[in-house]
Amino acid sequence: MNSFERPTWSSRAVPVVLVVVAVLIMAMCTVGAEGPAARVIPVLIGGGAAAAAAWAVRRWRADRAEYERRLTAWAATEAVLAERLRIARDLHDLVSHGLGSITVRAAATRYEPGPEEMRSALDDIEATSRETTAELRRMLTVLRDPASPEPRAPMEGLEALPEIVHGARSAGLRVSLTGGDLGEVSPGVQVAVCRTVREGLANTARHAGPTDVAVRVRRDGPHVVVSVSDSGPAEGWRPDPGAGHGLAGLRERVTSLDGTLTTEHVEGGFHLVARIPDDVRR
């Protein structure tokens, strides 16, 4: 739960005004009396009412200004927390995908232990490690200092899918990518599509190793549908499951776009499908 609760509106003028009204009501009960008090009390009632009204208006305005200041500060804090949570999710995706690729690439060389294959695997592992480390440092810099001028990576689009698939192939997965005419796709949905493919491939790398994977991206009416299906663990492969946060984070990302994420085991393999609505007209 978020420990920063939304400020509530309250004014100190309200109880004071209620007390003044009560006093005025009691004072009005003296109307009809004779003597000097009968002439003084109405004047006091009118003057007191005017002073109370003027004070209440000033107090209400001051309390309203203070409430808006606290509300603005709360909104800014919530925005910072939301941004840091997004960066933390991106960090998880980055580290999970990078380490998964390294693990699978290293393990896949056992099936092809020749010197050329070993050298190629080491080159791929080094390149992936350097890229992941550089991105990790950049994102940690942003986390430590949100005002840092460190540039952030642009949002991924559908054009990044071939590169994502190529990285998985370098890690030893045998990936096929097919896609139909998607038309125009909103930026948020494009990011979700890329994250779905990344998480699906990383999940396959951890659980099934160097196996066959089919990635399909298509449009079904107002929805963009992404599926990642593998043919099951490679022979002799020992699964290396993570903490389970990857699929949970992906599900949260997809449902935030009013989409659905389903996972199931099919014929020894694993099937992941994300169905995301997209309102952009084609």
Would the pLDDT of 2 be above 90? Answer: no
27: tokens are: 């004072």
Q: Which helix (H) or strand (E) holds 223?
A: strand 223-230
Would the pLDDT of 272 be above 90? Answer: yes
Mean pLDDT of the chain: 76
- Report pLDDT digits (tens) over 144-161: 665 555 545 556 788 889
Query: Percent of the chain beyond pLDDT 70?
Result: 65
- Report pLDDT digits (tens) over 50-103: 777 777 778 778 878 887 888 777 777 776 676 667 667 766 666 766 776 777
- Report pLDDT digits (tens) over 207-248: 888 889 999 999 988 999 999 999 988 887 777 666 667 788
Would the pLDDT of 201 be above 80? Answer: yes
**Which of 32-41, 182-191, 246-255 bottoms out in mean pLDDT, i.e. has the lowest?**
32-41
- Average pLDDT on 185-207 reads 87
User: Please, what is the angle between helix 187-207 and helix 161-170, to 10°?
Assistant: 10
277 - beta bridge partners?
223
Residue 28 or residue 162, greater confidence: 162
Instruction: Give which of 274, 148, 130 is closest to 216, Cα–Cα.
Output: 274
* pLDDT at res. 282: 45
Tokens 């080094």: give the residue. Answer: 126
Which range among 53-57, 113-117, 190-194, 206-210 has the greatest average pLDDT?
190-194
* pLDDT at res. 1: 42
Number of DSSP helices (H) and strands (E) in the chain, helices first: 6, 5
191: tokens are: 């990011």
For the domain bounded by 156-282, which CATH number is listed? 3.30.565.10
Query: Percent of the chain beyond pLDDT 90?
Result: 15
* pLDDT at res. 257: 86
* pLDDT at res. 261: 94
d(CA 227, CA 260): 12
Q: Residue 41: phi, psi to the nearest 5?
A: -60, -45
d(CA 78, CA 85): 10
Cβ–Cβ under 8 Å, residues 90 and 138: no
